[in-house]
Chains A and B, each alone.
Chain A
Amino acid sequence: MVTKEELLEKLAKSIVTYNEAAAMAAVKESFENGLPPVDIVTKGLSVGIRQVGERYGKGEVAIPFVMLAAKIMDKATKEALSKVPPDQMPKPLATMVIGTVEGDIHDLGSSIVAAVFSASGFKVYNLGHDVPADTFIKRAEEVGADIIGASALMTNTLQIQKVFGDRLTRLGLREKYIYLVGGGAFPGAEWCEEIGADGFATDVTIGLEVAKKCVAERNK
């Protein structure tokens, strides 16, 4: 008879070893042994994905592996929670809508952020590139997002981060969301202050810390 601890370890290990088949098998085995679905995710799979995130932060794991772990995590989580009623779903650290601003087609960075944030316990909706402000807002409203993340690579499109912030303000939504900006265009502290964003980062690991801090402050 396999113990609960052994099952949780299997779940975590399947993510750490990027083994999709093992992850799905571990979920199935957990079901068969009566492990609560929420525990499968929060005490099993999530432990693994956090380890991957931590190892990435230390420079021990390359981006493709983080992306792969996030993909497996997502699939296994969906399977584990497929029969859980909405009101019993485990709560993510926060829900985030992210994308690259309108006019900018560079979405590699925002995709990396999406994967790393997912791996760190955030529920992330990645809207891709060249995303109009209203699309960000509509999606954020739909999914009940806590955070909106707007990325820009070019200084030409950096301006859109300001336009977007102003748009949120005009719609009376600015305080509703944590507004984070990032990207290769190097939004610095001055820029962040000028446009009234809640935080900025040019590096995903810094971004993660900023986001966690903002969420913690909001939850106080």
Chain B
Amino acid sequence: MNKTGVFQRGTPWKALSDDQVKILDNAGYEILREVGVNFADDELLRMAAKMGGTVDYEKKIVKDMPEYVLREQVAKAPRNFVCAGRDPEWDMIFEGGGRKQFWAPESGATDHLQWDPAKRTYSRRRANANDCAHATRIIDGINDFDSNCYVYDLGEEGQLGLPSELIKLNAILRNTTKFGANYCTTVSDIREHDYSQKLAEAISGGPEEFRKRPLFWAVYNPLGTLQMNKFNSWSLRKSFEHHWPIMTGVAAAAPLVGPATAAANAAITHAGLLWITAMKGMYDPGTAVINNNMVFCLDPFTGKGTLTSSHFMLGTVAMNQVWHGLYGLPTCQYTGVGTASLDQEAFGLGMLMMMQMLYGTDMIMIQHSQEALDPTTLVIAAEIAHYGKHIMSTFDQIVPTKENLALELAKEVGATGEGWMTSEFNMARIDLFYKSLSLDQTPPDTWVKQGAPSWCHDICREKLKEYEKHEPVPMPKDIAEKMDAILKEGTELLKRQDGGPRGSNIPI
């Protein structure tokens, strides 16, 4: 029995008419034709030229990509695909866009926040592989999370010049039986990706097995409006070679490096997604692409990411309409609130994630602070996912069928209502009501007597202790040994030599 996802029910919220969706889609192709995209990588430029684009190798810009080529390739992207768990019961099975909904937490925090209960304050340090493994085990044990995903970037290992993406993937894959999700770019050396692939193949059993049942997807967050830097380029090329599914988020970061309307921002984002999806189709046909519906915003006053703006909310719903409606492909979303504060996260994420649910986003990633993270946020995220799933999984009760309306019973019970409580009809439906994972429902007097605990800081932190007891199914010994050897070899080869940057010629 597959444990993941809920079927989407009802009509997702729409921002645009069908005609407007087509206008937005066409704008994406016009941008690719007239503006073009920038690739830092010459190999990708050559690949683009083979697809029929006009390439300016000096400026590294591709323009005039034939629309029919793009449309043909995008149309070939798989609708149905598996994102595999080590345990097949945790496979995420996507069945086209707008069909199912999956939830997972996500963050790229480079630092760990350590709470001091006595002083009621935090200390901060670089996050490391142990933090990542710890968080992975917690996520593995929370059933409302359909997938694992990293919530820590390995700031400590990165700062030491170690191949942190390889080390991170190892920490994740060892400590979960769920899909590993986001595998990111590396700044060290393109070969780091090969070692990561070896790690995954050690679990899958080989390259073909991985291709059929991929354990992670590669993530692209190109910078600027339509730019793919060399690190993203390395990863994209390796995704072709190793048949990694990809999850692409094109970030036209309004208003500092992107237009200040949701429509223009969405059009540019859409152009980028079309472009990468088409390249993937051309050079790695049959491997899944899931596009991030993100229409990204920066706070114009601080320059920090802020996704609470209407630009983001309106843009993402429009992107869902385009990718679901015109291409039948699933979408993914991560939504951050740009804060480390637990209570602000609880507010922001709760609000944003419910919107994503109503938009019909297929993979909802509850994104925590990108900077410094307290694992207690995972408890908050679990409640959000639990609530989102609750609404979607109990949706059918609103459908006014004869059974749901229960008019005959209403006549029988009468106007006063007491008869409903113990009726067979109600008794059989108690499970339709929300049962929280962690919300405090004690009466006010009790709550006051208990010292007025904060949900975020006290109750969720206590709940975290329960989640921390979870132990994932251990990796078989022989596979673990293989992984150890791969990790050791890769780390030795890829660690920064002589204190300088890897691949750099800076003498020190």
0/1 interface trace, chain A 133-149, chain B, CB 8 Å (1 if under): 11000000000000000
0/1 interface trace, chain B 38-54, chain A, CB 8 Å (1 if under): 00100000000000000
Which A residue sits closest to B159, measured CB to CB?
A: A155
Residue B301 interfacial (CB < 8 Å): yes
Partner of A63 from B154, B160, B300, B507 at Cβ < 8 Å: B300
Known: A63-B303, A105-B231. A159 touches B508 (CB 8 A): no
Do residues B504 and A159 form an inter-chain contact, with CB atoms below 8 A?
no
CA distance A156 to B192 in the complex (A): 13
Contacts of B456-508 to chain A: CB distance below 8 A: 496, 499-501, 503-504, 506-508
Stretch at the interface among A40-48, A82-90, A106-114, A210-218: A106-114
Residue B85 interfacial (CB < 8 Å): no
Do residues B159 and A132 form an inter-chain contact, with CB atoms below 8 A?
no
Contacts of A57-108 to chain B: CB distance below 8 A: 59, 61-64, 102-106, 108
Which B residue sits closest to A67, measured CB to CB?
A: B256
0/1 interface trace, chain B 250-272, chain A, CB 8 Å (1 if under): 00010111000000000000000
Do residues A163 and B124 form an inter-chain contact, with CB atoms below 8 A?
no
Partner of A158 from B40, B158, B257 at Cβ < 8 Å: B158
Contacts of A138-186 to chain B: CB distance below 8 A: 154-160, 162-163, 166-167, 170, 184-186
CA distance A53 to B424 in the complex (A): 70
Partner of A102 from B161, B371, B506, B507 at Cβ < 8 Å: B506
Which residues on B sit within 8 Å (CB–CB) of A59? Answer: 301
Which residues on A sit within 8 Å (CB–CB) of B111? Answer: 186
Contacts of B155-176 to chain A: CB distance below 8 A: 155-156, 158-161, 164
Which residues on A sit within 8 Å (CB–CB) of B507? Answer: 167
CA distance A163 to B499 in the complex (A): 7
Do residues B371 and A156 form an inter-chain contact, with CB atoms below 8 A?
no
Residue A188 interfacial (CB < 8 Å): yes
Do residues B188 and A186 form an inter-chain contact, with CB atoms below 8 A?
no
Do residues B508 and A188 form an inter-chain contact, with CB atoms below 8 A?
no
**For this complex, into which size category does the number of interface residues on chain A fall?**
35 or more
Known: A163-B506, A170-B508, A185-B110. A156 touches B229 (CB 8 A): no
Do residues B164 and A64 form an inter-chain contact, with CB atoms below 8 A?
no
Do residues A155 and B164 form an inter-chain contact, with CB atoms below 8 A?
yes
Known: A63-B256, A102-B504, A106-B223. A156 touches B301 (CB 8 A): no
CA distance A183 to B108 in the complex (A): 15
0/1 interface trace, chain A 177-220, chain B, CB 8 Å (1 if under): 00000001110100100000000000110000000000000000
Which residues on B sit within 8 Å (CB–CB) of A104? Answer: 187
Do residues A156 and B506 form an inter-chain contact, with CB atoms below 8 A?
no
Which residues on A sit within 8 Å (CB–CB) of B153? Answer: 155
Q: Is the interface of B mostly helix, strand, loop or mixed?
A: loop
Do residues B301 and A159 form an inter-chain contact, with CB atoms below 8 A?
no
0/1 interface trace, chain B 200-239, chain A, CB 8 Å (1 if under): 0000000000000000000000010000011100000000
Which residues on A sit within 8 Å (CB–CB) of B124? Answer: 188
Which residues on B sit within 8 Å (CB–CB) of A184? Answer: 371
Residue B99 interfacial (CB < 8 Å): no
Interface centre among B154, B155, B159, B500 (most CB of A within 10 A): B159
Which residues on B sit within 8 Å (CB–CB) of A106? Answer: 223
Partner of A186 from B40, B110, B506 at Cβ < 8 Å: B110
CA distance A133 to B124 in the complex (A): 29
Which residues on B sit within 8 Å (CB–CB) of A186? Answer: 110-111, 371-372
CA distance A63 to B254 in the complex (A): 12
Which B residue sits closest to A204, measured CB to CB?
A: B303
Q: How far is the CB of B227 from chain A (nearest CB, A)?
A: 9
CA distance A108 to B252 in the complex (A): 13
Q: How far is the CB of A186 from chain B (nearest CB, A)?
A: 6
Do residues A155 and B110 form an inter-chain contact, with CB atoms below 8 A?
yes
Do residues A154 and B158 form an inter-chain contact, with CB atoms below 8 A?
yes
Q: How far is the CB of A136 from chain B (nearest CB, A)?
A: 11
CA distance A106 to B371 in the complex (A): 16
Do residues B501 and A103 form an inter-chain contact, with CB atoms below 8 A?
yes
Which residues on A sit within 8 Å (CB–CB) of B302? Answer: 63, 203
Tell me the B residues contacting A by CB distance below 8 Å: 40, 110-111, 124, 126, 153-156, 158-161, 164, 186-188, 223, 229-231, 253, 255-257, 298, 300-303, 371-372, 496, 499-501, 503-504, 506-508
| Extra 16 A-B pairs, beta carbons < 8 Å, given A155-B153, A163-B501 | A62-B255, A63-B256, A63-B300, A63-B303, A103-B501, A103-B503, A112-B303, A133-B506, A155-B126, A156-B161, A156-B164, A163-B500, A166-B508, A170-B508, A186-B371, A204-B303
6 contacts between A and B (CB under 8 A): A102-B501, A108-B253, A157-B187, A157-B501, A159-B161, A163-B504
Tell me the A residues contacting B by CB distance below 8 Å: 59, 61-64, 102-106, 108-109, 112, 132-134, 154-160, 162-163, 166-167, 170, 184-186, 188, 191, 203-204
